[in-house]
Amino acid sequence: MLHKFAAIVLCVFGVSAMSQAATPVLVIHGGAGVIKKDMDPATQKAVRGALTNALEHGYAQLKAGKPALDAVTAAITVLEDDPHFNAGKGAVFNHDGKNELDASIMDGATLRAGGVANVHRVKNPILLARAVMERSPHVLMFGDGAEDFAKTQGIDLVDPKYFWTEKRWQELQQALKEDAAGQHADAEKEGHFGTVGAVALDKAGHLAAGTSTGGMTDKRFGRVGDSPIIGAGTYANAGCAVSGTGWGEYYLRTVAAHEICMRVTEMHQPLKEAAEYVINKEIPKLGGDGGAIVLGADGEFATPFNTEGMFRGWVGKDGKIHVAIFPGE
């Protein structure tokens, strides 16, 4: 009799647990600050294809029952390998003609996090950020030290020439001309949007977030933006995950990613309202701009931005791939 009762209890709780399993969701971005005049049909097609590819790789992890961290890592790695985005292969050049790469990742279930800044030879910075989180006692590593750690972890290192692209090189040349003409402020304002990122919800109901970037064209003095900084460009907890893209100094000053999640999880503000307030009110009030992707534990998500466009895509609860560039898509 006891065994029969136990079996009934197990069955009931088993059904209950299964009914509470989350429907996987993946949201990605390839940077805000899209300039419409630069988006010819061929470029649009290539970018949409790259976003679709990243979603397919990331969502495959979720469908297979893998954790949100795996989906975030898979999606961002695809974007880092594509020269259309300012991360990894498509990274912009600093003032001295070098690439300085940043990335971070965070596990919402445990609040573990890892980040790397100003690395020059790491093929996929998001993989190194994850290694910092999972295989070291630290959260953030910088420059040569981060690359020394990469060597010990078997992370792929490449010749810096790997990151060179004609488009990014010409963008630097234009910025240097504007520097010489005293137009540096204008060049800076136009060059701060390039970032890629992903947020994911897995079948277990756990969230994760990650961000990767090449920083700003023509940046100097070892400048580091918000992307590798936990709480500014990336944040995830049990109820909210955020990856930002925009003028990093303002995301740092507002601790934007953390601010959004605190509004969602502590103030119980509706997710879209919280995202809208920080991205489209708080940051612009200080003089900044950009966008973000935000995902809640219930699968609700938001993609606010205040620029002409933002490369973005998602696989929602319907399991279908959607990609977009301009407002209203």
Residue closest to 316 by CA, chosen among 288, 295, 285: 295
pLDDT at 60 (0 to 100): 98
195 is catalytic: yes
pLDDT at 192 (0 to 100): 53
Provide the residue-wise pLDDT of the chain in tens; the chain has 329 residues: 444 444 433 343 333 333 358 999 999 999 998 888 888 899 999 999 999 999 999 999 999 999 999 999 999 999 999 999 999 999 999 999 999 999 999 999 999 999 999 999 999 999 999 999 999 999 999 999 999 999 999 999 999 999 999 999 999 999 999 888 876 554 444 555 679 999 999 999 999 999 999 999 999 999 999 999 999 999 999 999 999 999 999 999 999 999 999 999 999 999 999 999 999 999 999 999 999 999 999 999 999 999 999 999 999 999 999 999 999 99
Sign of the torsion angle spanned by Cα atoms 311, 315, 317, 318:
positive
- DSSP-assigned beta bridge partners for residue 313: 28, 323
**Is pTM, for the whole model, over 0.75?**
yes
Query: For residue 223, what are its two tokens?
Result: 């400048």
C-alpha torsion angle, residues 318, 113, 214, 48 (rounded to 10): -10
- From the list 23, 73, 110, 195, the catalytic residue is 195
> Exposed, middle or buried by CB within 10 Å (0-12, 13-18, 19+), for 215?
buried
pLDDT at 28 (0 to 100): 98
CB atoms within 10 A of CB 270: 13
pLDDT at 46 (0 to 100): 95
pLDDT at 39 (0 to 100): 86
pLDDT at 184 (0 to 100): 53
Query: Which domains does the chain show, CATH number per domain?
Result: 23-324 (3.60.20.30)
pLDDT at 200 (0 to 100): 98
Q: Which residue has 């612009």 as its token pair?
A: 284
For 35-50, b/e burial (b = at least 16 CB within 10 A) is eeeebeeeeeeebeeb
> Exposed, middle or buried by CB within 10 Å (0-12, 13-18, 19+), for 19?
exposed
pLDDT at 183 (0 to 100): 63
pLDDT at 1 (0 to 100): 42
Distance CA 236, CA 292 (A): 13
Query: How does pLDDT run across 8-18, given as a tens digit for each residue?
Result: 333 433 333 33
